[in-house]
Structure 1
Amino acid sequence: MASQKMLKFVTVNRDMPEKRPPQLRREDFGEIYGEFAREKAAEQSGRCSQCGVPYCQTHCPLHNNIPDWLRLTAEGRLQEAYEVSQETNTFPEICGRICPQDRLCEGNCVIEKSGHGTVTIGAVEKYITDTAFDEGWVKPIQPAQERAESVGIIGAGPGGLAAADRLRRAGVQVTVYDRYDRGGGLMTYGIPGFKLEKDIVMKRMDQLEAGGVTFRLNCNVGTDITFAEIREAHDAVMIATGVYKSRDLLMPGAGADGIIRAIDYLTASNRVGFGDTVAEHESGELNASGKKVVVIGGGDTAMDCVRTAIRQDAASVKCLYRRDRANMPGSQREVANAEEEGVEFVWLSAPKGFAAAEGDAVSGVMVQKMRLGAPDATGRQMPELIEGSDYIEDADLVIKALGFEPEELPRLWGVEGLEVTRWGTIKAEFGSGQTSLPGVYAVGDIVRGASLVVWAIRDGRDSADAILAQLSQAATVAAE
């Protein structure tokens, strides 16, 4: 009977959860997709072809057992589906919302390759875990046995939190240090609510705290506590700070008022969503209301900025990107959502400077038009300048969404012997995350450079396993 519930991709079309109309979703920061009903989730899960070699699983950084939990969902066995999903993914409800499934699992679905439309993997993943929370299946961590060893984790983003979860399940004592007043890292302050509502992140924070993870928030390493003190207090230390230093534009007029960093803009907006009072938002410095907004960049952060500006009732919102639509790094799904909501994309355009009005306030972006030339070493076509095509794009607010770079942690923390790469990321052993310092590990973006949440989760889990192996080995040696 179970097999009769699967392989329905020939007779059942792909169907996503209902998306709220653009004119309504422009009015708030609520998620734009509705929830699957139980019957619809089962129906869409039943489209899975149950491949012998599931490419969806292979192309998932966590190698989630996707065909298994799709089959369980199709059979109505949702608690089991959640348990299978949770085995490989610490935060399936988050990945189901913000993973670029079109580039990972869904983009490699076999039935899509045969022309039937991919299985809606992300939407089902989200549905399974949301149901698990609603039904009370998500429990605080209860280790079978407590251990005396402790691990300090610097950074409460997805990598650090995934490691904390895994270490606590093994009974290790875990303390997470973070500079912000709330945990979650960029999941809390970088990603807007229309992609990831904040109560979803806070539920996981509450679960981890109820399971025995200690959080020291508003704690800046190098100022409130030294790195040496953290090493002294724990048997192992994990660095999971992410990358927060924004790339800049060194060009004429770049210091004008009204040219701001994406991270500052998104953080202010998310804080307002929490109910915080943010002076820079109230003054208009980090608020797009009534302004002609230009966002520079083509990644997911740029998409977050343009769609946030729309919701803040900007007069107009344009996105400048130096390549064309097919060559942009951001999710095509996000571009489509932004266009529906009223964002205008100005392709093959790059800034060369900024115009300023009286009082040194930005009044426009000097734009140079581009064309795509020969491919570079990565295979992407390189943009080339079209002479004589310059013009000025009017702007009252310019948001730089050019990506992130690592901070100089060895210098900031006064750490000797912590090796970094030529890009400033921490040198760490593949798989384990072991750095050049004994007992010190590093995971996520501070090792990879700016990357996906799902890769940070993978790194955190893998490194936690390596730490557990090291702690167990040390305990065995001590006992001999």
Structure 2
Amino acid sequence: VYDRYDRVGGLLVYGIPGFKLEKDIVARRHALLEESGVVFHLGQGVGSGADDLPFEVLRSRHHAVLIATGVYQSREIGGPGAGLAGIERALDYLTASNRRSLGDTLPPEAEALDAQGKAVVVLGGGDTAMDCLRTAIRQGARSVTCVYRRDKANMPGSAREVKNAEEEGVHFEWLAAPEAFLGDSTVTGVRATRMKLGLPDASGRQSVEPVEGSSFTLEADLVIKALGFDPEPLPKLWAQPGLEVSRWGTLKVGQKDFMTSLPGVFAAGDIVRGASLVVWAIRDGRDAAASIHQWIEANETASAVAEQG
């Protein structure tokens, strides 16, 4: 396993708060895997950077490669003031919180990723947004507000997560969307507008439209963008133009064998499905492992026959 992080587990360690997944569970699985013979190369990126391992070298070392990188490219938001200090990505915020809980020393710039005593506004309505909201509560934020452009019935996140957040003191601004971010160099507020539900869009969900003259302002010392994640452009980052992707940027694989357009290169999890649940990534990993085993056995048999012939 080649992992760019310094701990095994990826999002299980750095993206999911400890109150939802205790980290000793992940550490125990790490130890079991090592005992079974799995070799981990931590802090090892793949790509074209100075310290990265080129993907072609990775392929030359192994009979097969499984790409299970997940999706880490945060969706951004524009508008006036979007570049102000204090407007942070959800994954950066959650990673800093988890590192702090693990006893790591954070760099000075990460120290600002702490909600203690602050008015916090989280943009988004998925499970990641809920994780940020509930983390901010635990860090002692002065106030915690979720801004979501649809109503409660259309929240993409778990209903149980929303209920937990409400019980813990989170305030929800339903049917609201940010227009601008206020402040000089550092954010001091979010100007938002009320929204109304319209006709269903192409996906079947009701579209949203702004309500004219309904702007309002929320105090904010820390704004967290939890708007979802997209795949990183792996063909470009890894200099692999032959690695085919879908129109969403996810890797294309065979429906049954999990193989990408590159022979011997397989993929599973969010990098194929798009942002999804851990349980699906685990299922995909197991199915992909079985497919890799079959492919290697078939190749070895074919090589043996060729040699005998």
Q: TM-score range by the shorter chain?
A: over 0.9
Which residue, out of 255, 277, 282, partners 2:105? Answer: 277
Q: Is the 8 A contact 1:268 1:281 kept in 2?
A: no
Equivalent in the alignment of 2:161? 334
C-alpha separation in 1, matches of 2:243 and 2:168: 46
Secondary structure, aligned partner of 1:221? coil
Equivalent in the alignment of 1:191? 16
Q: Is the 8 A contact 2:96 2:110 kept in 1?
A: no
The yes-or-no answer on 1:243 pairing with 2:71 is yes
C-alpha separation in 2, matches of 1:390 and 1:280: 35
Equivalent in the alignment of 1:385? 210
Secondary structure, aligned partner of 1:467? helix
**Matches of residues 1-80 of structure 1 in structure 2 within 5 Å?**
none
Q: What letter corresponds to residue 271 of structure 1 in structure 2?
A: R
C-alpha separation in 1, matches of 2:206 and 2:236: 37
- Higher RCO, 1 or 2 (CA under 8 Å, sep at least 6)? 2
Equivalent in the alignment of 1:316? 143
What is the alpha-carbon root mean square deviation over aligned residues?
Answer: 1.1
Q: CA deviation at 1:371?
A: 1.1
Runs of 4+ more than 6 Å apart = none
Q: What letter corresponds to residue 140 of structure 2 in structure 1?
A: D
Equivalent in the alignment of 1:343? 170
C-alpha separation in 1, matches of 2:61 and 2:76: 37
Q: CA deviation at 1:389?
A: 0.2
Secondary structure, aligned partner of 1:214? coil
| Identical-residue share of aligned pairs (%) | 62
C-alpha separation in 1, matches of 2:63 and 2:125: 42
Secondary structure, aligned partner of 1:431? coil
Equivalent in the alignment of 1:28? none
C-alpha separation in 2, matches of 1:355 and 1:192: 29
**Distance change >3 Å, CA 361–CA 341, structure 1 → 2:** same
Q: Considering only CA atoms, is the larger Rg found in Structure 1 or Structure 2?
A: 1
Structure 2, gaps ≥5 residues long: none
Cα deviation digits, residues 43-74 of structure 1 (max 9, x gap): xxxxxxxxxxxxxxxxxxxxxxxxxxxxxxxx
**Distance change >3 Å, CA 234–CA 183, structure 1 → 2:** same
Structure 1, gaps ≥5 residues long: 1-175
Equivalent in the alignment of 1:231? 59
Query: Which has the larger strand fraction?
Result: 2
Q: CA deviation at 1:294?
A: 0.1
Equivalent in the alignment of 2:36? 211
Q: What letter corresponds to residue 204 of structure 1 in structure 2?
A: R
C-alpha separation in 2, matches of 1:230 and 1:269: 32
Q: Is the 8 A contact 1:425 1:446 kept in 2?
A: yes
Q: CA deviation at 1:263?
A: 0.3
Equivalent in the alignment of 1:428? 253
Q: What letter corresponds to residue 234 of structure 2 in structure 1?
A: L
**Distance change >3 Å, CA 249–CA 278, structure 1 → 2:** same
Q: CA deviation at 1:479?
A: 2.2
C-alpha separation in 2, matches of 1:247 and 1:477: 46
Which residue, out of 391, 402, 409, partners 2:227? Answer: 402
The yes-or-no answer on 1:353 pairing with 2:180 is yes
Query: Which has the larger helix fraction?
Result: 1
C-alpha separation in 2, matches of 1:430 and 1:388: 50
Q: What letter corresponds to residue 216 of structure 1 in structure 2?
A: H
Which residue, out of 234, 255, 273, partners 2:83? Answer: 255
Q: Is the 8 A contact 1:245 1:406 kept in 2?
A: yes
Secondary structure, aligned partner of 1:419? coil
C-alpha separation in 2, matches of 1:469 and 1:433: 12
Which residue, out of 266, 280, 298, partners 1:441? Answer: 266
Equivalent in the alignment of 1:41? none
C-alpha separation in 2, matches of 1:295 and 1:280: 23
Cα deviation digits, residues 140-159 of structure 1 (max 9, x gap): xxxxxxxxxxxxxxxxxxxx
Q: What letter corresponds to residue 31 of structure 2 in structure 1?
A: D
Q: What letter corresponds to residue 228 of structure 2 in structure 1?
A: G
Equivalent in the alignment of 2:198? 373
Equivalent in the alignment of 1:298? 125
Secondary structure, aligned partner of 2:242? coil
Query: TM-score, structure 1 length as denominator?
Result: 0.62
The yes-or-no answer on 1:454 pairing with 2:279 is yes
